Structure 1
Amino acid sequence: MIRDPYKLEQLLAEVRQFIKEECIPCEREVDQADEIPSHIVARMRSLGLFGHSIPEAYGGGGLTSEELCLVNMEVSQAATAFRARFGGNTGIASESLVVDGTEEQKQHYLPRLASGEITGCFALTEPGAGSDATALKTTAVRRGGDYVLNGLKCYITNAPIADLFTVFARTDPESRGAHGISAFLIEKGTSGLAVSLPYRKMGQHGSPVGEVILTDCSVPASSIVGEMENQGFRTAMKALNKQRINLAALCIGPAIRLLDEMVSRAASRQQFGQNIAEFQMIQQMIAQSNIEIHAARALLMETARKRDAGADVTMEASMCKFFASEMCGRVADRAVQVFGGGGYIADNAAELFYRDVRLFRLYEGTSQIHLINIAKRTMATAHEPSGS
């Protein structure tokens, strides 16, 4: 749902200018230094990028799903590290609070997340709990009015620089599966909470990812999101459902950028006395990429509008994430092919994005997990009564 087309177009134009004039020119610098310059982060704050999906009542932009998709397709046309810097705050790191937080928790944290004063992270994954997130072993034991947490989280985006950690731990030791898990809000500096140095990664340099280590970390019971014990996995799934729509948009943006790069390269590169754009197999790769981008965008926008209308889009969100992430990988591969040997050399967008977008098929649910979930829901729906 687009609430005010004129205001949205102004926002998109402002974001587009920031990405084109300030982010894209320093992509290689960020890739090499593995850090986003502080003046770029300051501009992100001034533009309100940290709070786009946080409700207006708490200092955010309150963007609808459809509006957020359009913005995300713009911001992701620069190297993925730029969006990752503010993406947690306006996505997965704030959504648990938005959907299930108490009013006191929302008032305390959401305005600070929206302004970029603090950086949030979402600590769910563990060494033995990835695709099977319910297998987590981090424990939270009640001791009087507090809980004591012990465990290890891994592959957590922004963990090395985070100020607020949404940590998922098992509060019911007798339970198995999704039941008995609670979500805790833990601030940086809390005794027993530590983070690792950032991992050295294949791509997405400039987006720090690391481990969260909990050693007898004591927090008050009021730290539980919504003060609802044993409901944390439900909270996580609510946050991930929306984030999968966001991520689909974040896969489409890089594909759009790569298509532009392919067209530019094909128009300027000559072989056999003519531009390679004249070769039909180059044209085929460009055409296939453009078709798939349009298909992904159509699926995404339909799903976003359905979500804004209040429909359950759990299966469609999985479809969006699966199709867009796989599509983006194919487009990135074609871009390297169009660039030829130059596409393997670290001085162009094809090489940079080829490394960056590979992660899309892994996080927020691997492609294989999404296929399983889509199949289950498809078969379940097939047996529902007509008209249900």
Structure 2
Amino acid sequence: MAIAVPFIAFLLIGAIAAYHRLRLPVWAALTITALLGCWLFGANPTATLIATAVVVLVSVPLLLPQFRLPFITAPLLKFYTKILPPLSETERVALEAGTVGFEGELFSGKPDWNVLLSQPKPTLTAEEQAFLDGPVEELCRMTNDWEITHVHADLQPELWDFIKKNRFFGMIVPKEYGGLGFTALANHKVIQKLASVSSVVSSTVGVPNSLGPAELLMHYGTTEQKDYYLPRLADGREVPCFGLTGPWAGSDATSIPDYGIVCTGDWNGAKVVGVKLTFDKRYITLAPVATLIGLAFRMYDPDGLLGDKRDIGITLALLPRDTAGVDIGRRHFPLNSTFQNGPIQGRDVFIPLSQLIGGEACAGKGWQMLVECLSIGRSITLPSTASGGSKMAAVVTGAYARIRKQFGLSVGRFEGVEEALARIAGNAYAASALAEASASAVARGELPAVPSTIAKYHCTEMGRQAAMDAMDIHGGKGIILGPRNYLGRGWQASPIAITVEGANIMTRSLMIFGQGAILCHPWVLKEMKAAGLADEGERLREFDKNLFGHIGFAISNAVRSLWYGLTSSRIGAVPGDTYTRRYYRKLNRYSAALALMADTSMLLLGGKLKFKESLSGRLGDVLSHLYIASAMLKRYEDQGRPQTDQPLLAWSFHNSVHKIEIAFSAALRNFPIRPIGWLMWMLVFPWGRRAQAPSDRLGHKTAALLMSPNEARDRLAVGIFTTPCENNPAGRINSYLQKVILAEPVERKFLKALKNSDIEALDFDKQLDEGVREGWITAEERRQLEELREMTIDTIAVDDFDTEELRSAGYRHLPRENRAAA
């Protein structure tokens, strides 16, 4: 045993130092002190000397820069530059365009939770809240989604007028240009509320306040462009669209085939230098009604009119609709959502250089401009839309499941339905927290490149799942379209959000971890920049500092991952209350494991990692659910740790950590270098996978929250349109919940008495008459049951039509003798 003591002390001090990330001199001093103690207290002298020699051999060369730099760092730098995958210009711009927020802490393996919890609570200004309570509420009241999607295939003229008059298109435009000057958080709240009643209205309002001319002009426009266009965009005189996607370049914006040739031409009667454009775009939202077109194209200068560079690069321009040669085609028909969407073409369309966004100075900078603004659009419009739809699905489906009865029991009481209800509630809670977190990041002035992709992918996926579960519970009510159907159009539209601004498959498998592994990692980007420095001495010193910082970081994460795995994350100082501390500790564990996996993957796979899309997607899932769980904990803290929300938080959190372990498991079992995968498994899962999906008991509690009035349900419904009115059948059904619950004891009493009686009446009204005469119910209770009947009928009713009403206008306009052939 005396022989083992020095080595145990050596390993123990090393593990403690690595766990706490102590510097190398501190580790060396502590270890030498411990070994000296072993010597003095009778440990085996030979073993002590051997352990001391190891400490000296490791620490002395590393602590002496005169030795370390030329003999250790320089060869490693040479090797690093050989294996470093080359970064294209587009990749470099994408990495440098975004900022890093709390997601960087999640990549650290040791998150500083104070960074998250010290962020200000998201709040609206009084003016923003008044806009939500006033014009937004009124627009929701005016909105009849059936009229929009089936009768008119467009917003009615009065809706267009209301939107323009109240400057919905100018929410992000500063007040000095006539806009509302709202924060990103207010933008999120408006889109969320509109999406809860109509995805067509929300997309119509969302696009001009997302990626488009206004956003680009605010960041890059010349003074003249801002002064002219921003006031016109704010008050609706100009309706904008932005042409990026085409038949040959969808998500891969860097491969845009649309081009512009620098030349001279006529503009407003004068001969000027400009660009002659040829382009073919499709899937462009608002294109059919747009008056101002933003356009992305590749700019060439073959005659050298602007300088020596012939391929100037991706450039952005503004085209008035009436520009000669611009052809806005007929409308696309996106899954019966009928928002304005269509193609744009142009050939030899001449514009002056003054129509380039930012003028000539911004020629060739379009990719950087797009990357920055795309991250803002992904952070707000699509997550907010999904959040609004998910929250409405949760609230109204909970009410429907309580009101709708089968076999004398509310359908929500069946365990299969409870399971789906819990999933809807959990997804709505998570999507709401995630959408608000990403919008708040933009409101704080961040450009959240990684959180925006997380929010876009996961909010839209959770929205799609919530829509599917809501449809399953509603059954026939959900599939029969008509004015009473509040789910069908949302279900049809759910795949739309997962395709735009980067298809979700690509977002998950390429972007989330691909960007996060470099942008959020505390050392990788610094090492890459250091290796690219021109001055040889500075390059060596900077690389040395970052390399050994990275090595210590990797060792620490291996130790932390193993420790958390062995202790099941039950030990460690974290914030929170007695209920949530266990959650923070679990996230610490998975953060360390993610950092370890990221380092191992990048070290061993190098440039090949970008082609390992399954591995990248699974590690992206880990990062995503770490961020989602963090957003939910922040929301829980901001709302004052409400006890009634705990089932929602618990279901959503356990769902996330279960998915984290599934993703880790799949990544490790399929790691390209199998022995490394086995070794990593022992560090990440020393006792095997332990996280479980939310239990049935927890699902029961969560589903119950949706089926009765309570504070948690009310908080979940905040920000959506629940006002009961003619155009809002979902709001009416939600408003019935309280009265239905109050009537349930009377209904049970009446049905029990009726079952045990010999009354032969089959008609409901006659049965009620008999019930009053027999004394089973009072006259007041009879009115209560009649009202219950009316509310139930309104809840379950669907629409019917004459065949002619459902035929297309094209069919109806055919001569009668030609209809049979058609």
Q: Which amino acid aligns with 1:265?
A: Y
Structure-to-structure mapping, 1:209-220, within 5 angstroms: 209-220=341-352
Tell me how far apart the structure 2 counterparts of residues 44 and 306 of structure 1 sit (CA, whole Å): 27
Q: Which amino acid aligns with 1:124?
A: L
How far residue 142 of structure 1 moved from its aligned partner, in angstroms, is 0.8
Tell me how far apart the structure 1 counterparts of residues 442 and 397 of structure 2 sit (CA, whole Å): 34
Q: Which amino acid aligns with 1:196?
A: G
Tell me how far apart the structure 2 counterparts of residues 305 and 202 of structure 1 sit (CA, whole Å): 31
Structure-to-structure mapping, 1:353-364, within 5 angstroms: 353-364=490-501
How far residue 265 of structure 1 moved from its aligned partner, in angstroms, is 2.0
Q: Which amino acid aligns with 1:59?
A: G
CA contact (8 A) 2:217 2:226 kept: yes
> Which has the higher mean CA deviation after the structures are superposed, 287-296 or 150-159?
287-296
- Residue 516 of structure 2 is matched in structure 1 by 378
- Higher normalized contact order (CA 8 Å, seq sep 6+, divided by chain length): 1
Tell me how far apart the structure 1 counterparts of residues 137 and 124 of structure 2 sit (CA, whole Å): 20
> Which has the higher mean CA deviation after the structures are superposed, 371-380 or 109-118?
371-380
Rate the CA distance shift 1:319–1:4 in 2: closer, same or farther, 3 A: closer
Structure-to-structure mapping, 1:259-270, within 5 angstroms: 259-270=394-405
How much is the aligned-residue C-alpha RMSD, in angstroms?
2.1
Runs of 4+ in 1 over 6 A off after TM superposition: none
* One of 366, 372, 383 as aligned partner of 2:503: 366
* One of 244, 247, 252 as aligned partner of 1:132: 252
* Identity over aligned pairs, percent: 23
CA deviations 1:38-68 (Å, max 9, x no partner) are: 0011111232211111112211111122222
Rate the CA distance shift 1:277–1:16 in 2: closer, same or farther, 3 A: farther
- Residue 112 of structure 2 is matched in structure 1 by none
Structure-to-structure mapping, 1:1-388, within 5 angstroms: 5-23=125-143, 26-32=144-150, 33-93=152-212, 94-144=214-264, 145-172=273-300, 180-205=313-338, 207-227=339-359, 228-246=362-380, 247-347=382-482, 348-371=485-508, 372-380=510-518, 381-382=520-521, 383-384=523-524
CA contact (8 A) 2:434 2:459 kept: no
What runs of 5+ residues in structure 1 fail to find an aligned partner?
none
Q: Which amino acid aligns with 1:356?
A: A
> Which has the higher mean CA deviation after the structures are superposed, 31-40 or 68-77?
68-77
Q: Which amino acid aligns with 1:367?
A: N
Q: What secondary structure sits across from 1:226 in the alignment?
A: coil
Q: Which has the higher helix share?
A: 2
Rate the CA distance shift 1:273–1:19 in 2: closer, same or farther, 3 A: farther
CA contact (8 A) 2:245 2:281 kept: yes
How far residue 156 of structure 1 moved from its aligned partner, in angstroms, is 0.5
Tell me how far apart the structure 2 counterparts of residues 263 and 15 of structure 1 sit (CA, whole Å): 28
Tell me how far apart the structure 2 counterparts of residues 262 and 111 of structure 1 sit (CA, whole Å): 42
How far residue 184 of structure 1 moved from its aligned partner, in angstroms, is 0.8
Q: TM-score, normalised by structure 1?
A: 0.93
What runs of 5+ residues in structure 2 fail to find an aligned partner?
1-119, 265-272, 303-310, 525-545, 554-822
How far residue 346 of structure 1 moved from its aligned partner, in angstroms, is 1.1
Q: Which has the higher strand share?
A: 1
How far residue 222 of structure 1 moved from its aligned partner, in angstroms, is 0.6
How far residue 322 of structure 1 moved from its aligned partner, in angstroms, is 0.7
How far residue 12 of structure 1 moved from its aligned partner, in angstroms, is 1.7
Aligned length: 382
Q: TM-score, normalised by structure 2?
A: 0.45
Q: What secondary structure sits across from 2:262 in the alignment?
A: strand
How far residue 123 of structure 1 moved from its aligned partner, in angstroms, is 0.2
CA contact (8 A) 1:79 1:204 kept: no
Tell me how far apart the structure 1 counterparts of residues 156 and 414 of structure 2 sit (CA, whole Å): 41
> Which has the higher mean CA deviation after the structures are superposed, 288-297 or 360-369?
288-297
How far residue 214 of structure 1 moved from its aligned partner, in angstroms, is 0.7
Q: Which amino acid aligns with 1:374?
A: I
Tell me how far apart the structure 2 counterparts of residues 172 and 22 of structure 1 sit (CA, whole Å): 48
Tell me how far apart the structure 2 counterparts of residues 97 and 18 of structure 1 sit (CA, whole Å): 30
Rate the CA distance shift 1:4–1:28 in 2: closer, same or farther, 3 A: closer
Tell me how far apart the structure 2 counterparts of residues 241 and 123 of structure 1 sit (CA, whole Å): 17
Q: Which amino acid aligns with 1:360?
A: A
Rate the CA distance shift 1:303–1:222 in 2: closer, same or farther, 3 A: same
Tell me how far apart the structure 1 counterparts of residues 451 and 211 of structure 2 sit (CA, whole Å): 18
How far residue 253 of structure 1 moved from its aligned partner, in angstroms, is 0.8
- Residue 740 of structure 2 is matched in structure 1 by none
Tell me how far apart the structure 1 counterparts of residues 352 and 301 of structure 2 sit (CA, whole Å): 19
Tell me how far apart the structure 1 counterparts of residues 435 and 335 of structure 2 sit (CA, whole Å): 28
How far residue 90 of structure 1 moved from its aligned partner, in angstroms, is 2.2
How far residue 19 of structure 1 moved from its aligned partner, in angstroms, is 4.2
Tell me how far apart the structure 1 counterparts of residues 124 and 467 of structure 2 sit (CA, whole Å): 34
Tell me how far apart the structure 2 counterparts of residues 279 and 162 of structure 1 sit (CA, whole Å): 50
CA contact (8 A) 1:193 1:214 kept: yes
Tell me how far apart the structure 1 counterparts of residues 446 and 140 of structure 2 sit (CA, whole Å): 35
Q: What secondary structure sits across from 1:156 in the alignment?
A: strand
- Residue 765 of structure 2 is matched in structure 1 by none
Q: Which amino acid aligns with 1:201?
A: P
